[in-house]
Amino acid sequence: MLPRLHMSLSAQGFGVLRAAQAAMGFVVLSAITVSAWHLWESQVLQQAARPYEAATKRTGDVTGAYIEQARRAGYDLSDQRLKGLEKEIAFTNQMLANRAFSWTQFLTDLEEAVPSQVSIGSVGLSFNKDAVATITLTGSAQTLRDLTALTNDLERHPAFQGVVLSHHQSMPPDFVEPVSAQQTQEAVGFALTVMYRPAQGK
């Protein structure tokens, strides 16, 4: 009886190679699927963006036509002109606020807030962009305590706020207008700023 001989005709590792080929095929298929998904999604986004692009173009066309029409009518709507226009509007608001400012009301409020031991030498007035008045006061007080009382009384008054004492210094009585006949000691000269907004309905 002849002995039987079994030989494998397949190369060693052929099964591993087929498994690797299958894995690579799966990766390629997944990449194709993801690419197709992104392509479809980008097309959807482009379709959704088209109406907004068209609206933006129409707005630009209308704006351009308006600027051209204004230019023909003699109006300058350039960026430089618009920046200057903001300053002109702010200045106009300040002028309107200045015209509406009541000096009578202000002096009444100031008289209510200034102690009798304090003498006001000068009053300055300016308006910010919100048409709020900034008052600059200079004058003299009999003592430093009287100056402190002035700042406190201004803060307590409903028409004044934000008192800022710029500076103060001792001054001989001969250099200031006496507040009282008994003033013989050195007075305290001062300068301060305060925001003024008249009380409504007063």
Are 106 and 163 contained in the same domain?
yes
Write down the pLDDT at residue 200.
59
Q: Does residue 97 form part of some domain?
A: no
Are 106 and 185 contained in the same domain?
yes
Q: Does residue 110 form part of some domain?
A: yes
Are 189 and 134 contained in the same domain?
yes
CA gap 170, 188 in Å, rounded: 5
Per-residue pLDDT of the chain (202 residues; tens, 9 = 90+): 555 655 554 555 556 667 777 778 777 888 888 888 888 888 878 887 788 788 788 887 777 776 677 667 766 656 665 565 566 555 555 555 566 678 888 889 999 999 989 999 998 888 776 667 889 999 999 889 999 999 999 999 999 999 999 888 887 655 445 545 444 467 899 999 999 887 655 5
Domain enclosing residue 168, as ranges = 102-196
Q: Would you call 189 helix, strand, or coil by DSSP?
A: strand
What would the 3-class secondary structure string for 31-67 be?
A: HHHHHHHHHHHHHHHHHHHHHHHHHHHHHHHHHHHHH
Are 112 and 180 contained in the same domain?
yes
Q: Does residue 96 form part of some domain?
A: no
Are 107 and 67 contained in the same domain?
no
